[in-house]
A and B are shown apart, each in its own frame.
Chain A
Amino acid sequence: MLTVGPVDKLTIQRGASGEVKIAAQLQPGYHVNSNTPSEEYLIPLKLTWAKEPLQAEQVVYPKPQSEKYDFSPTPLSVFSGNFEVVTRFKAPADARNGPAIMNGKLRYQACNNKECLPPRTIEIQVTLDIQ
């Protein structure tokens, strides 16, 4: 339903910051709740990262769309189609030099106008070169 494209390798200096873009693609006709759903009971899209080797300083989600669906009396805050989630990482000054992997998880819950699919989690790996 939701797929994530290849993630670019991140080359980063110790003590410096760098960005990683996660490109997501959702099957036509479906939406996922944004990171700030309009209803309390809805499950937000959420990108989380491991605590090392880098520190995730900020996760920036796209601007949500406000869409009306048959099942909701009010528009919902959603993402659909292709969208990007950007993470700004910082490499600790004492990070180990060399290749490494940064692990993340993208959790989402998708629906179309008539039905919903159970929440899913996509495992994400970013290849690092820490210098």
Chain B
Amino acid sequence: MALLKLIRAAVWGGAVGGFLLWTACSNIPEAGFEPRSVKAAVKPENDRKTAPEFTLKDSNGQTVHLADYKGKVVLLDFWATWCGPCKVEIPWFMEFEQQFKDRGFAVLGVSMDEDGWDAVKPYIEDLKINYRVLLGNEQVSDIYGGLDSLPTTLLIDRQGKIASIHIGLSRGKEEFRNDIDHLLGASAASNGARTSLTAAK
């Protein structure tokens, strides 16, 4: 188990600049089996690494670049239709999309289904998913560390940097909401401070 943890941590660490390595080492229980749950709080701004860029298609066939979302706080959710824990989180993310969209927030759901849109589109309709869903691929999986476990959810700040990573159903809805609110608020405060400084000059 310890070896598995080390390998997983190393893979992720390499892919996202050691961000998860720090998180995993500080959160995974050492004794006995427990379902792995990485509880990452929002990282201080200086410790954040840039989210790897990707280009994927959404369910309408439109091309989406992660870079298009720079300036927004993004909840990036890697999921699949066959993933029960992912299904729990989707209604939360729909709620967040509705609640925070006017404050510069967006949810991007990246489906890792091998069967592609044939599996994903009916699921989007069944759950009435209100946020943008993209179809992932091996390349995006690789740049995000292999995505061995789903759901894997990242909160990305307005500068395009990873503020937190959550693997598995490790956080409650309110914890996610608090983190999003914090990122939106902190960014707004930070932008406001910069504006005031510029105006003073």
Contact = CB atoms under 8 A, between A and B. Distances in A.
A43 B81 CA distance: 10
Interface stretch (B40-48, B61-69, B91-99, B147-155): B147-155
Nearest to B148: A117
A71 B88 contact: yes
A113 to B, nearest CB: 5
Contact of A114 (B80, B81, B85, B123): B85
Report the contact-size class of chain A (Cβ under 8 Å from the partner): 20 to 34
A29 B33 CA distance: 7
A50 interface: no
Contacts of A115: 35-37, 85, 149-151, 167-169
The B interface, classified by DSSP as helix, strand, loop or mixed, is loop
Contacts of B148: 117-118
A79 to B, nearest CB: 15
Given A71-B87, A71-B88, A42 B82 contact: yes
Nearest to B83: A116
Contacts of B88: 70-71
B170 interface: yes
Contacts of B112: 118
Interface string A116-129: 11110000000000
The A interface, classified by DSSP as helix, strand, loop or mixed, is loop
Interface residues of B, number: 26
A116 B168 CA distance: 8
A114 B82 contact: no
B114 interface: yes
B33 A114 contact: no
A124 B84 CA distance: 28
B86 interface: yes
B84 A111 contact: yes
Interface string A41-55: 111000000000000
Interface of A: 28-29, 39, 41-43, 69-72, 76, 109, 111-119
22 contacts: A39-B84, A42-B84, A43-B82, A71-B169, A76-B84, A111-B84, A113-B169, A114-B37, A114-B85, A114-B168, A115-B151, A115-B167, A115-B168, A115-B169, A116-B80, A116-B84, A116-B85, A117-B148, A117-B150, A118-B80, A118-B112, A119-B82
Given A113-B169, A117-B149, 7 more contacts: A41-B82, A71-B87, A114-B168, A115-B85, A115-B167, A115-B168, A115-B169
